[in-house]
Amino acid sequence: MFNIEKICVIGGDRRQVYLGELLSADGKFVTFCALEKCAEAAPDYSSMRIAISKCDSVILPMPLSKDGITLNTPLSDTEITLNEEFAEMLRGKRVFCANSAQLKKTGDYSDVFVYDYLAREELAVENAVPTAEGAIAAAIDNTDITLHSSRCLVAGFGRIGKLLARELNALGADVTVSARKPHDLAWISSCGYTAVKTNEISESGSYDIIFNTIPSMIFDRDVLSRTAANAVVIDLASKPGGIDLEACKDLGIKAFAALSLPGKTAPRTAARIIKDTIYNIVREVHP
């Protein structure tokens, strides 16, 4: 266990702003950088250098970078290149980031304490809540029927699949969930949903709404034509996803990807989840 008391929050979207506010409400001293469109922030690169120097910890955004070269700073006009100079500014600090491997490639981080909050299982679990809610709102908003009584297929029984199936069921949908392993299929039945083997989806009938959570090509042209003729298809799996969107277009099937839902649908909750995860890291680490 160590302490974080003076924290510099750099870049990112509204989640970072909320995160800073939450930390501040916990009595921490918080400075914002590269967030000037949304928060009172250090106005430029050299102020950022000073701000970092006065803090013990730095929080970098999720995602870390969109191009692999610069920090992700949608709420700022300051461009921050991830390079040796940036690494040097962080020397001796506790740095919490979303993709430590990517960060470490951009400079010498041997004297920086780097922690990856995105790699933590509890963050992934908690993020399933806003993801499931975002998926539910997307389904309500993009269909002309109610979820209630609709035939829904959730492909995949990982974190998001588990929670999404639970909530769809609670809203009165007729829920089928696919998985591969017998014990997952047993769980699906035990939860009261219809279980189908992932490789037998195409023989399982047709659906009104399909949610894919599996990051590999499950819904190819053949499967789509058999199960999704009148469906709305929502891909929740990270790119390249699991749905042949081209085939959907040809077949006249309404389909779209819904990604990064926690930050979009519930940025304040997403910030609270990141904060809790950082606190867990702080508690567990014995440096």
Contact set with its own copies (CB under 8 A): 14, 18, 120-126, 128-130, 133-134, 136-137, 140-141, 143-149, 163, 166-167, 170-172, 181-183, 185-187, 189-192, 265-269, 280, 284
Q: Looking at beta carbons only, is 50 or 285 nearer to its own copies? A: 285
d(CA 11, CA 38): 11
- Tokens coding 212: 């894919």
Contact (CB, 8 A) for 102 and 68: yes
Which H or E run includes 224? helix 221-227
CB within 8 Å of 110: residues ≥ 6 apart = none
Nearest distance, CB of residue 251 and its own copies, angstroms: 20
Nearest distance, CB of residue 37 and its own copies, angstroms: 16
Q: Looking at beta carbons only, is 65 or 265 nearer to its own copies? A: 265
Q: Looking at beta carbons only, is 2 or 279 nearer to its own copies? A: 279
Q: Looking at beta carbons only, is 22 or 245 nearer to its own copies? A: 22
Q: Looking at beta carbons only, is 40 or 121 nearer to its own copies? A: 121
- Tokens coding 106: 């951009």
Nearest distance, CB of residue 267 and its own copies, angstroms: 5
Instruction: For the beta carbon of residue 215, count every other beta carbon within 10 angstroms.
Output: 16
DSSP character string of 50-113: HHHHT-SEEE--SSS-SSSSB---TT-S---B-SHHHHHHTTTSEEEES-HHHHHTTS--TTSE
Contact (CB, 8 A) for 60 and 10: yes
Nearest distance, CB of residue 215 and its own copies, angstroms: 20
Nearest distance, CB of residue 155 and its own copies, angstroms: 20
- Tokens coding 15: 């989640």
167-172's contacts with Cβ under 8 Å and 24+ in sequence apart are 167/132, 167/133, 167/136, 168/136, 169/193, 171/136, 171/147, 172/146, 172/147, 172/148
Nearest distance, CB of residue 120 and its own copies, angstroms: 7
Q: Looking at beta carbons only, is 68 or 172 nearer to its own copies? A: 172
